[in-house]
Chains A and B, each alone.
Chain A
Amino acid sequence: MLICVVDDDAMLRDALDALLSEAGHEVRCVADGLEALDVLEVWPADLILCDLLMPGAEGFELLRTVRRKRLGMWFIMMSGAQGELAHFLNHAPVLGADATIRKPFKPNALFETIETVSRTDRPSGIGHSDEEHDDGQQ
């Protein structure tokens, strides 16, 4: 599977790159949503594993763009946010994420999440698109 990892934490990017590559996936890692869009334009990933809170373009922005453009990629949102911000992750499925996972996760939990998601129909973007209602009211 082609997996695009999007996280501003360099140590975690490196670890996830190694972990997922070792598991047989082809992995590209980027530091934010804008960089991810550049990569995805030329490298159509099967799955995006994206951090929620990042400087620049955070996870919700990337998720919305991926669904609006109907890129047809599975999307897993991850977050290590605490306190009040922890609730943000719960909104990701409403916006089209196929799954969420909270940091710190054990490797097996990540593999299980990817396996579960990959058994679902691959998103077409239909049903998540906001082309007709791009008023920010989702």
Chain B
Amino acid sequence: MTGNSDQTGSAYAGVSGWIERRNSSSDRTMHDLNNAMASLLANLSLGLEKVDENHPARARLAAANRAANRMQELLADYDPDRSK
């Protein structure tokens, strides 16, 4: 199946290289930050679902989730192309 990739990217085979050349250090950092943030949001959401309302860690998890959601909004505001 790997061989099919040779047929695949006639139009976009050079995109990755072009991207790598054009991608600035700050853009790469933001890209990695966005990935980490998405992971954090997903894990906090899952954690809150798993923890009982009366569990002592519940309030802390909820607070961390609120902070993560706020950070997501700040990141969204930082990127003028982002609508939400």
Q: Which residues of A contact B (CB under 8 A)?
A: 7, 9, 11-12, 14-16, 18-19, 22, 33-34, 37-38, 41, 53-58, 60-62, 64-65, 68, 80-88, 102-107, 109, 134-138
| Interface pair B8/A64, CB less than 8 Å apart | yes
The A interface is mostly helix, strand or loop, or mixed, namely helix
Number of A-B contacts (CB under 8 A): 138
- In the complex, the answer to whether A11 meets B30 with C-beta atoms within 8 Å is no
CB-based contact B4/A65 at 8 Å: yes
Interface residues on B, range: 35 or more
Interface residues, chain B, with chain A CB atoms under 8 Å away: 1-2, 4-5, 8-13, 15-16, 19, 22-24, 26-27, 30-43, 45-46, 49, 69, 72, 75-76, 79, 81-82, 84
User: In the bound complex, do residue B5 and residue A22 qualify as a contact, i.e. CB atoms below 8 Å apart?
Assistant: no
* Given A85-B27, A104-B34, A60 and B79 contact (CB-CB distance below 8 Å): no
Given A102-B82, A106-B41, A136-B10, the answer on whether A81 and B31 have CB atoms closer than 8 Å is yes
A106–B81 touching, CB < 8 Å: no
